[in-house]
Structures are given as structure tokens and as C-alpha cells.
Amino acid sequence: MHHLIAIDIGGTRFRAGLFDPEGRRLAVLEDKTSHSGGRDWMLDQLRERVDALRRETEIGACGVSFGGPVDFKSQRVTSVHTPGWRNFALAEWVENTFGLPCRVDNDANCGALGEHRFGAGRGTESMVYLTLSTGIGGGIICHGRLHRGRDGMAGEIGHIPLTHSERTCTCGLKSGCTESLASGRALDQKVREFAAHHPREAVELLKLGKAENLTARELVGAAREGDPAAETIFQEAMEWLARALLITIRLLDPDKIILGGGVAGAGDFLVQSIHQSLRNWRSPMFPDTTEIVLAELGDFAPLHGAAALAMDMVRPC
């Protein structure tokens, strides 16, 4: 059987990987994403890396994980982060460039596929994958299959409106979306604003850098070390995230919720913070058995999901 090519196009990094017919990762070529380079730069980078991976190897299909909205029916993509991607026929480009059948899906759906097929979701009947990164995306597995929904928008947990807000979310609404309250971008903003406006309370945080340069990474690190200001900021964000997860649990009652993406690098500290908030909303009427776990594949989950897309093209599930 032929090998597979998987591509993961993210806002921070991009990857091209070679997988065997069983979905085992054999090689990966990756680099940082250039926002200023736009679509043409990225396509040139992919062409170079895919050509290197497929040299002297028979390839059966290609799957692509894309960090932005994907119209799965038309296989067209859009990016709000870099220019040139609006309504771009990415699968068609891959097919024309490499002569390979191709299927594209968004990174959250691919993350769900990757974790269900190869990671922490193996053997589950139903699961939700949440990518906690610059934004927040989600993918849903129901009855062992990816659920995309009527408009291909199922799993958009990042855009569940939780409260009123004066800030405009990336979806275009001032709706207090989960993403605007608990994403990596939101944590960056919260810690910078707090440090700028409350320098006395933020003494320990300001030892890590200037207020305008602080990020979620410094915030989480300080919170783990017990800094009261950092703990307060982080736990407030986790309470909003826990509300969105509780809504998800009440609606879907999944076997597992799997947390991936850069913010999930906080590890057990993240999971414990979410459980701390969920405990406040326990109801004696509802059992509380959904597991909340970290992604086993880490930030490689979307790449493995892209490999699963390619695998299903040559060997339909």
C-alpha cells in the first residue's frame, strides 16, 4: 500500500509529514509561518517540503489541516490571519500540483480525528477535541465519526456567547465568546492590561518582562508558582472555559473532552483549574463522568488528523 502525505497549516507553524499506510508518522518537515508572506509564500514552502518527502516514495493521497474556516463541501478555505486565502480551492491546488487526491478540513476537526484515531480518544464512542491556542476551536466525534453539521460549523465552542462584552470577537460579534475570554490571545491581553494598570500587584509578573511583552506563557508560569495576581487572572479565564465545557457536556454527554493547542501546554495545572470551576456547578441530578484529559498527540494532533483524512481516501472507513 502507498504512503500518505499530511499537511498542517497553522497561524504559528506549518508542517508537512510522511505517514505509512497504518498512520504511523515517519518524517516531518516544519517551520514558522510568515504572516506577511501570505498564501503564495506558504504554497511555495509546501511545494518544496512535499517534494522532499515524496522523493522515491509512492504516495496514495494527501490530507490537509487548515487553521481557519473550511467549506468542507467545496474544499475551499479562508484565513483571517494572512492574505490571499479567501475562498481558495486548496484541495484542487494540491491535486494539480502534486497529482494526488486530497481532502482538507479545519485544524480543530483534524485534531479531533487525530486524537480519536491515534491518541487519547482511541476506543471512545463520542468525544470532543478542543484546541486552546491563539483562538479556540472544537471538533466533535459522535458514534465514532466526525460530526461537521449542516453548515460545517459544528464544534465552534470558541464562539459560544457566554456574557456581554465591549470587545469584538474574531467572529465579528461583541458577544463575550469563549474565545474572547479564555483563548491564548485573551490571556495575553488580560495579563498585559493588568500589569500596565496595576504595577504594584503585578510585581512578580513584571519581573518576567515589560507589561506589553507579557504573554499567556508567563501568566501560566507565574500562576503555577503561586503568584496571587496571576492565579486570579488565570482562574477567571478558566471559569469561563469551564462554563463552555459544561454546556458541551450537557448537550453532548461525551465520553471524553480532550484539550490540545498551545494553552494546553499548561498540562495538569490547566485540567485541575477547569475541574476547580466545574465543582462549583455540580448538580445532584446529573452524573459527572465525562473525562477531561490532555491531548496525547500534543500539537501534532491536527497533522495526524490530516493523515487520517488521506488514509480514508485510499481505504475508506
122-295 classified as CATH 3.30.420.40: yes
What is the chain's pLDDT, residue by residue, as a tens digit (317 residues)? 799 999 999 888 899 999 999 999 999 999 999 888 889 999 999 999 999 999 989 999 999 999 888 999 999 998 766 788 999 999 999 999 999 999 999 999 999 999 999 999 999 999 999 999 888 999 999 999 999 998 888 999 999 999 988 888 888 888 899 999 999 999 999 999 999 999 999 999 999 999 999 999 999 999 999 999 999 999 999 999 999 999 999 999 999 999 999 899 999 999 999 999 999 888 888 888 999 999 999 999 999 999 999 999 997 65
3-state secondary structure of 163: coil
30 CB-contact burial (10 Å; exposed 0-12 / middle 13-18 / buried 19+): middle
Q: Phi/psi of residue 5, each to 5°?
A: -110, 135
Q: Is the pTM of this model over 0.85?
A: yes
Domain spans of the chain, in order of start: 3-114+299-314, 122-295
**What does the DSSP assignment read for 78-143?**
--SSSTT-TTB-HHHHHHHHH---EEEEEHHHHHHHHHHHHSTTTT-SSEEEEEESSSEEEEEEET
Q: Among candidates 264, 265, 260, which has minimal Cα distance to 297?
A: 260
Which bin fits 39, alpha (ψ -120 to 50), beta or left (φ > 0)? alpha
Which bin fits 298, alpha (ψ -120 to 50), beta or left (φ > 0)? left
Which bin fits 38, alpha (ψ -120 to 50), beta or left (φ > 0)? left
User: From CA 310, how far away is CA 88, in angstroms rounded?
Assistant: 20
- H/E stretch holding 313: helix 301-314
Sign of the alpha-carbon dihedral angle for 209, 212, 213, 214: positive
CATH topology of domain 3-114+299-314: Nucleotidyltransferase; domain 5 (3.30.420)
Helix, strand, coil fractions of the chain, as percent rounded to 5:
45, 20, 35
Is the Cβ–Cβ distance between 94 and 54 less than 8 Å?
Answer: no
User: From CA 245, how far away is CA 111, in angstroms rounded?
Assistant: 17
Same CATH fold assignment for domains 3-114+299-314 and 122-295: yes
